Chain A
Amino acid sequence: MSDPVVVCEGLTHVYLRGTPFESVALRGVDLVVRRGECLGLVGPTGSGKSTLVQHFNGLLRPTEGRVWVDGVEIRPGTALVREVRRKVGLLFQYPEHQLFEATVFDDVAFGPRNLGLDPEEVQERVRESLQWVGLDPDRFGPRSPFSLSGGEMRRVAIAGVLAMRPQVLVLDEPTAGLDPEGRREILSRVRELHRKARLTVVLISHSMDDVARLCQRVVVLHRGQVFLDAPVREAFAQADRLRSIGLDVPRATDVLLRLKAAGLPVRCDRLTVEEVCEEIVRVLQGNQRWSSSEA
Chain B
Amino acid sequence: MELLRSLTIGQYVPRASPVHRLDPRTKILATTVLVVVVFLVRDFRGLGVFAAFLAAAVALSQVPAGFALRGLRPIWFLLLLTLVLQVFFGGSSGGTVLWRLGPFAATREGLVQGLFVTARLVLLVVSTSLLTFTTSPVELADGMERLLNPFRRLGVPAHELAMMMTIALRFIPTLVEETEKIMKAQMARGADLDTGGPLRRARALVPILVPLFVSAFRRADELAVAMEARGYRGGEGRTRMKQLRYRAQDLWAGLVVLGASALVLWSGRI
Interface positions of A (Cβ within 8 A of B): 15-16, 18-20, 54, 57, 59-60, 82, 85-86, 89-90, 92, 95, 97-100, 110-111, 114-115, 146, 160-161, 164
Contact = CB atoms under 8 A, between A and B. Distances in A.
Interface of B: 1-2, 5-6, 8, 13, 63-64, 66-67, 70, 178, 181-182, 184-192, 206-207, 210-211, 214-215
A200 B109 CA distance: 68
A95 B190 contact: no
A59 B188 contact: yes
A208 B5 CA distance: 34
B192 to A, nearest CB: 7
B188 A97 contact: no
Contacts of B192: 82, 114
Contacts of A59: 1, 184, 187-188
Contact of B188 (A18, A20, A90, A99): A90
A57 B206 contact: no
B187 A19 contact: no
B67 A57 contact: no
Given A82-B192, A92-B188, A98-B211, 17 more contacts: A16-B2, A18-B66, A59-B184, A60-B1, A85-B188, A86-B190, A92-B184, A97-B182, A97-B211, A97-B214, A98-B182, A98-B207, A110-B186, A114-B192, A146-B214, A160-B189, A161-B188
14 contacts: A16-B5, A19-B6, A20-B64, A59-B187, A82-B190, A86-B190, A90-B188, A92-B181, A97-B185, A111-B190, A114-B190, A114-B191, A115-B190, A160-B189
Contacts of B64: 20
Contacts of B182: 97-98
Contacts of A57: 188
Contacts of A90: 185, 188
Contacts of A19: 6, 8, 67, 70
A161 B189 contact: yes
A18 B64 CA distance: 10
A99 B211 contact: yes
Nearest to A98: B185
Nearest to B204: A114
A117 B42 CA distance: 63
B112 to A, nearest CB: 34
Contacts of B6: 19
A57 B192 CA distance: 14
Residue of B70, B182, B185, B206 ringed by the most chain A CB atoms within 10 A? B185
B26 to A, nearest CB: 23
Given A16-B2, A20-B64, A97 B215 contact: yes
